[in-house]
Amino acid sequence: MMSSNYPPGVTGNEYEIAGPDMESEDNRYCDKCDKKTDHYIEGYRGAVTIQCQECGDESDISDEYDGDPDKAMEDKKELDLWVQERGY
Ligand SMILES: [Zn+2]
Domain limits, the chain: 15-86
- The environment of the single-atom ion ligand 1, i.e. residues with CB closer than 5 A, is 30, 32-33, 52, 54-55, 57
Question: What average pLDDT does this structure show over 11-36?
Answer: 86
Residue 78's pLDDT is: 79
Q: What is the tens place of the pLDDT at every residue in 24-72?
A: 999 999 999 999 999 999 988 878 999 999 999 999 998 886 655 566 6
Spatial CB neighbours of 73, under 8 Å, sequence gap ≥ 6: none
Q: Which helix (H) or strand (E) holds 20?
A: none
Residues 5, 18: Cα–Cα separation, whole Å = 14
Tell how far the Cα of 19 is from the centroid of ligand 1, in angstroms.
24
| C-alpha 28 – ligand 1 centre gap (Å) | 9
Q: Is the dihedral of CA 69, 70, 75, 80 positive or negative?
A: positive
The residue that leads in pLDDT, 74 or 57, is 57
